[in-house]
Structure 1
Amino acid sequence: MTIFVLASASPARLGVLRNAGIEPLVRVSNVDEDAVAAALPADTTPEQIVIELARAKARDIAATLDPTEFADSVVVGCDSMLLMDGVLQGKPLTPDVARARWAEMAGRSADLLTGHCVLRLRDGKIVAEAADCSGTTVHFVKPEPDELEAYLASGEPLQVAGAFTLDGRGGWFVDRIEGDPSSVIGIGLPLVRRLLAEVGVGIAQLWVGGTA
């Protein structure tokens, strides 16, 4: 049976996969995202940036897997960033940065880009790779000042791309989206299904209780 490895510490991504019938093995990469992005050519598109970050994470984890234990496996790496006014925004990390971003986002829309990379491994070697980006337009409402301060105090927006979540408290401030909801949460199921097919893995064989 093919082992599904998620190269991410994100509980949201893990939750999406579990709800979709997959129980992945979680491995957290040590990729320096800023260094990877800085090394890319100046004309790299925002979409390609998140793809390259996802690829770096997947390859970082693939290199650590025991060839015997993971003789037949897939490694999935993801990276999400919010594109607003032509600028990519990652995790704000501090309340001040998150507050400044919400001052720009409130009452407006932006594109949540999520890069995906799927690696197929056999006996420790990468035998196939597929990567792509999914983009979803998110329309934000304007939170009341006390609502925003309470949201910032919760800590939720500090560790997520774009300083918001769709499946948590941030969902109160999203008016609507145009695109794939699972991609906004962090891992796009329709896209991952297509990428898995490109490397020769059917989604049903990965489902808990499914057949290979």
Structure 2
Amino acid sequence: MSNVRRSWKAGFPKKLEAILDPSNAHPLDGCDPDELYKVMMAERTELNKARRESEDNFVKSIIQLSSGLLLLLAGFAVNARDKLTDASESLFGFCAFSLLISICAGLAEHHLSAKAHQRQQEIVERYYTKVIKSYSEPLENFYVRMAQLIQFLAFAAALLFLMIIAASQIGETNVRQEKQYTATSAAITA
């Protein structure tokens, strides 16, 4: 019989063998399921709270950075109006527009987040007062995630436009300096 058992076990993958081995029992085996559920829900609540706080801080940071960059762009536009190329001017406009979209999406996210939180509270209250038998994530949470995505993409686009403007302006400055140097050298030799 032991030979049959060994040959039967030989074909089993090691992971399944470990699962079937009673010495590899789960640490929570034998615990009260109601107590486990309470602990799980408490931990889940803390994790959700930390995630929301992190997302809120991220949104606030992007709003602040976008506002600051928009102010810097306005100052740069006033000082460098004559020095910008046509391509840089259009990219400058796209950059400013992207920053405005990022700010508006961030503000919309804050508003939608408050609405989603309120809706989620209503759903949870209705569930625990046994008005409804089950619940799912409110639709408002989808709108919050979309606003966050739009805000991040608009901010990233603005940074990309800003890098292209900087690179083109550096190239344009080098060309101007080279022309000026060539003209100065020609004047000296003549």
Task: Confirm or deny a common fold (TM above 0.5).
Answer: no
Which one has the bigger strand percentage? 1
> Please, what TM-score do these two structures have when normalized by structure 2?
0.23
Which structure carries more helix by proportion? 2
TM-score normalized by structure 1?
0.21
